[in-house]
């Protein structure tokens, strides 16, 4: 037998751990994905089987975190699903009274492009004061990247006109090919480790919550739990924004769908 084959039992044990820790549902069809994402880690640790890796994890909580980092899908980019950012502009223009700071939570923010995109819209409308963005994720390694706010320029990077110049710095010499989010913007964006399947720390109430491209990894029970956790931090009259490919249908959670095609819900 190939020393590093992933047996059914080992896959079930690993997927059980991932489910209990992060709420991520891994059906058998994800076996090759799990294998591919973990095999180099096994090699690095000089372990010769997934059985040995399971034993290794069971003795080290730090390795459990590394494993969750490797298993999670962190794809994200600036101004992903741009209609949601247009909607945010609309809310600021038509509903925001300016009395209290406008607060937005980007839950499951990955490497930070989503919370920084939100921050750019807020700064564009309100200047650099009177608002706050909180980004959170279960993975500490993506949060480290988010806090640095430095990104390789890539083909998915598309900003509304003028935003790049207004809110980012283009790298030169050693840093050419990169952009850095400007310090004024960064000051109003904070990052915190939050597992959406566990009790959320005291982070206050928000006017808008982005919960995009994470529920696709959850089964119905986990979706319900994550939604309940998130919604307990949404103000009455506030908005929940999920991805176009997601829905809260079937969860029994009662929110008003206000823009069908854009997956935007309002809390009564």
Taking CB under 6 A as the binding criterion, the range among 70-78, 119-127, 157-165, 255-263 that sits at the site for ligand SAM is 70-78
| CB distance 197 to 225 below 8 Å | yes
Q: Is 61 a catalytic residue?
A: no
Q: Which of 103, 212, 223, 233 binds ligand SAM (CB under 6 A)?
A: 212
Q: Which of 110, 117, 188, 229 binds ligand SAM (CB under 6 A)?
A: 110
Q: Does 24 contact ligand SAM by CB under 6 A?
A: yes
Quote the distance between the C-alpha of residue 174 and its chain's center: 29
Which of 50/218 has CB closer to ligand SAM? 218
User: SS3 breakdown of the chain: % helix, strand, coil, rounded to 5?
Assistant: 45, 20, 35
Which of 100/245 has CB closer to ligand SAM? 245
**How many chain residues touch ligand SAM (CB under 6 A)?**
24
Residue nearest to ligand SAM (CB): 76
Locus of tokens 């059985």: 51
Which of 31/223 has CB closer to ligand SAM? 223
Residue 262 main-chain phi, psi, to 5 deg: -105, 5
Give the list of residues 6+ apart from residue 176 with CB closer than 8 angstroms, or none.
none
Taking CB under 6 A as the binding criterion, the range among 25-33, 44-52, 66-74, 182-190 that sits at the site for ligand SAM is 66-74
Residue 60: is it exposed, middle or buried by C-beta count within 10 angstroms (0-12/13-18/19+)? Answer: exposed
Q: Does 196 contact ligand SAM by CB under 6 A?
A: yes
The catalytic position among 80, 103, 137, 207 is 137
Q: Which of 75, 90, 144, 256 binds ligand SAM (CB under 6 A)?
A: 75
Which of 168/215 has CB closer to ligand SAM? 215
CB atoms within 10 A of CB 198: 14
CB of 73 to ligand SAM, least distance (A): 5
Q: Does 221 contact ligand SAM by CB under 6 A?
A: no
Q: Does 118 contact ligand SAM by CB under 6 A?
A: no
B/e letters for 160-188, b = 16+ CB within 10 Å, e = fewer, are beebbeebbbebeeeeeeebebbeebbeb
The closest of 104, 156, 111 to 133, measured between CA atoms, is: 104
CA distance 123 to 131: 8
Q: Does 22 contact ligand SAM by CB under 6 A?
A: yes
The catalytic position among 37, 125, 224, 266 is 37
The closest of 177, 215, 219, 179 to 196, measured between CA atoms, is: 215
| CB distance 134 to 163 below 8 Å | no
Q: Does 80 contact ligand SAM by CB under 6 A?
A: yes
Q: Does 129 contact ligand SAM by CB under 6 A?
A: no
Catalytic residues: 37, 137
Q: Which residues bind ligand SAM (CB under 6 A)?
A: 22-24, 72-76, 80, 108-110, 114, 137-139, 142, 195-197, 212-214, 217
């Amino acid at each position: 037998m190939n020393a590093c084959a992933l047996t059914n039992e080992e896959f079930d044990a690993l997927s059980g751990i991932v489910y209990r820790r992060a709420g991520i549902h891994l059906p058998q069809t994800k076996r090759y994905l799990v294998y591919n994402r973990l095999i180099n880690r096994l090699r690095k640790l000089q372990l010769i089987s997934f059985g040995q890796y399971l034993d290794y994890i069971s003795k080290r909580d730090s390795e459990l975190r590394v494993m969750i980092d490797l298993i999670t899908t962190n794809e994200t980019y600036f101004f992903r699903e741009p209609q949601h950012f247009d909607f945010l502009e609309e809310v600021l223009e038509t509903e925001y009274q300016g009395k209290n700071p406008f607060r937005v939570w980007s839950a499951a923010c990955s490497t930070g492009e989503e919370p920084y995109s939100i921050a750019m819209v807020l700064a564009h409308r309100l200047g650099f004061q009177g608002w706050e963005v909180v980004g959170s994720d279960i993975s500490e390694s993506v949060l480290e990247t988010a806090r640095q706010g430095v990104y390789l320029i890539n083909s998915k990077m598309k900003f509304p006109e003028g935003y790049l110049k207004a809110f980012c710095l283009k790298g030169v010499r050693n840093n050419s090919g990169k952009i850095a989010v400007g310090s004024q913007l960064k000051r109003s964006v904070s990052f915190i480790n939050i597992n959406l399947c566990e009790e959320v720390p005291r982070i206050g109430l928000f006017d808008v919550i982005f919960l995009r491209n994470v529920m696709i990894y959850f089964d119905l029970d986990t979706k319900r739990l994550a939604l309940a956790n998130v919604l307990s931090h949404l103000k009455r009259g506030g908005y929940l924004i999920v991805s176009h490919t997601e829905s809260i249908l079937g969860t029994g959670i009662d929110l008003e769908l206000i823009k069908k095609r854009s997956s935007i819900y309002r809390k009564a």
